[in-house]
Amino acid sequence: MNATIKARIEAIFDQVIKRNPGEPEFHQAVWEVIDTLGPVLHKHPEYAEQKIIERICEPERQIIFRVPWQDDRGEVQINRGFRVGFNSALGPYKGGLRFHPSVSLGTIKFLGFEQTFKNALSGMPIGGAKGGSDFDPKNKSDGDVMRFCQSFMTELYRHIGEFTDVPAGDIGVGAREIGYLFGQYKRITNRYESGVITGKSPAWGGALVRREATGYGTVYFAREMLNVRGVSLEGKTAVVSGSGNVAIYAIEKLQEYGVKVVACSDSSGFIHDPDGLDLDTIKQIKEVERGRIGAYRVTHKKATYTANGNIWDVPCDIAFPCATQNELNEASARTLVANGCIAVSEGANMPTTPEGVKVFLDAGICYGPGKAANAGGVATSALEMQQNASRDAWSFEYTDKKLQNIMMDIHRDCYETAKEYGLKNNYVAGANIVGFRRVAAAMLAFGII
């Protein structure tokens, strides 16, 4: 990279650290993107002149609010709610809501930043956003979750709308939470505005395939990366971290493709079943009973359960990190490569640390960053918005075909762009550059706003 451009990017990053103290995940997400943009600034000096990177790093708006609610015992509880509208150059803000005790403004900003590039990469007309709360839905009754969601929406409703900002689910926010949130929105606004939130049940405005989309999409992306190298998924062994929405449907699609998935996890530990996981049991434990993954052993005695262990120690051909950020570090990346892993496709957002990413890139294995590999979820949310706008409902097969085409297009765009910049097989650079160029072109057209 040219020394002047390098210095400029480093100066931008110093500024980001200064203006956003105590937000290491946000700093990490910003650096992972802007570190790859030097060649684009070289080709497009107008982006530097108009300070596009500086502007992209500053969220358009950040909303923080109090969420008071009363639990089953009548005790008053107070949580904090967030919604960060990061960038609306390409369309209304779009991104999920995360309910997890670890949620802070820095987490939401990192996710909103990532979402901006991912949404641009998806080719859909949507901007980037994220939101959530430090509320923990784990071990809460339906009544507690409902009262929390109603209070959360009582503030959020004034900031969202189908042409303004369209939330969806993420960690801790599934069909149950989306139902309570939409119910309250509908009640307050007196409008049946289906397109205001995605991830709805297909029984009342949701799209078929949205539930499966992120997991399936991650597998489609892995399939495309391997195709380029003339390798097929069939007969391979995989490890999938997590056992939530993304992990479960990644496992489902992998099994359909004849892949043996031998391990998955939750925040307590991981299970390893060398014969291949029984997905029905996992769905029963996690989707129906909302229990702990260790319960798998009750019916599957041959499987092992390791509390607080490292799932990446389990040998596999392909790894799918589908739990949370920074769950796969440098040591785990080295272990995976040493055990013969040939591909990593990220269902989660930023699950691999920068040091881990470097190990995969240096080893020359297929590495699909979350921005590209998990974009199927938000792309299908955009398909849900299309159906809501036209008051239509598409079949599962039709929507899944569209999802596959979108994932193939994303893969092709990342691959071709990386090649164009002399970085063949580097999907990190490819994804960042494609997403950035699309957002930057729109921002340039709008003038200084």
The number of residues that bind ligand NDP (CB under 6 A) is 23
Which of 25, 144, 170, 224: binder of ligand NDP (CB under 6 A)?
A: 170
Name the token pair of 323. Answer: 């739990």
Which of 194, 243, 352, 417: binder of ligand NDP (CB under 6 A)?
A: 243
Distance CA(243)–CA(266), nearest Å, equals 6
Which of 160, 261, 282, 322: binder of ligand NDP (CB under 6 A)?
A: 322
**Is 171 a residue that touches ligand NDP (CB under 6 A)?**
yes
State which residue, 50 or 104, has the beta carbon closest to ligand NDP: 104
Distance CA(283)–CA(293), nearest Å, equals 10
Residue 408 CB-density burial (10 A; 0-12 exposed, 13-18 middle, 19+ buried) = middle
Site string for ligand NDP, 179-218 (x = CB under 6 A): -----------------------------------x----
Which of 16, 41, 149, 323: binder of ligand NDP (CB under 6 A)?
A: 323
Which residue, among 60, 110, 104, has the nearest Cα to 85 in the 3D structure?
60
**Is 169 a residue that touches ligand NDP (CB under 6 A)?**
yes
CB of 375 to ligand NDP, least distance (A): 8
Distance CA(205)–CA(105), nearest Å, equals 31
Question: Which residues lie below 8 Å from residue 148, measured CB to CB, with a gap of 6+?
Answer: 67, 69, 77, 79, 133, 135, 137, 140
Distance CA(351)–CA(328), nearest Å, equals 6
CB of 174 to ligand NDP, least distance (A): 6
CB of 212 to ligand NDP, least distance (A): 10
Choosing from 94, 109, 118, 130, the catalytic residue is 130
State which residue, 106 or 169, has the beta carbon closest to ligand NDP: 169
Which residue, among 226, 221, 218, 400, has the nearest Cα to 323 in the 3D structure?
218
Site string for ligand NDP, 368-407 (x = CB under 6 A): ------x--x------------------------------
Q: Which stretches of 137-194 are assigned E, i.e. beta strand?
A: 165-168
Question: Which residues lie below 8 Å from residue 179, measured CB to CB, with a gap of 6+?
Answer: 200, 201
Query: Residue 261 forms beta bridges with which residues?
Result: 238
State which residue, 41 or 372, has the beta carbon closest to ligand NDP: 372
State which residue, 53 or 378, has the beta carbon closest to ligand NDP: 378
CB of 214 to ligand NDP, least distance (A): 4
CA angle 54, 59, 65 (to 5 degrees): 155
Residues 5/38, Cβ–Cβ less than 8 Å: yes
Residue-wise DSSP of 125-153: S--EEEEEES---TT--HHHHHHHHHHHH
Residue with tokens 């290491």: 24
Active site residue 419: no
CB of 206 to ligand NDP, least distance (A): 13
Distance CA(229)–CA(74), nearest Å, equals 60
Which of 87, 122, 198, 324: binder of ligand NDP (CB under 6 A)?
A: 324
Name the token pair of 391. Answer: 């008051």
- CB under 6 A: which stretch of 5-13, 175-183, 241-249, 428-436 binds ligand NDP? 241-249
Which of 123, 128, 132, 242: binder of ligand NDP (CB under 6 A)?
A: 242
**Is 251 a residue that touches ligand NDP (CB under 6 A)?**
no
Name the token pair of 392. Answer: 């239509």
Which residue, among 330, 318, 317, 346, has the nearest Cα to 242 in the 3D structure?
346
Distance CA(18)–CA(8), nearest Å, equals 15
- CB under 6 A: which stretch of 177-185, 328-336, 341-349, 383-391 binds ligand NDP? 341-349
State which residue, 268 or 395, has the beta carbon closest to ligand NDP: 268
Residues 142/174, Cβ–Cβ less than 8 Å: no
- CB under 6 A: which stretch of 11-19, 181-189, 323-331, 406-414 binds ligand NDP? 323-331
Which of 145, 246, 271, 316: binder of ligand NDP (CB under 6 A)?
A: 246
Site residues (CB under 6 A) for ligand NDP?
A: 169-172, 214, 242-247, 266-268, 322-324, 327, 347-349, 374, 377
Which residues are marked as active site?
130
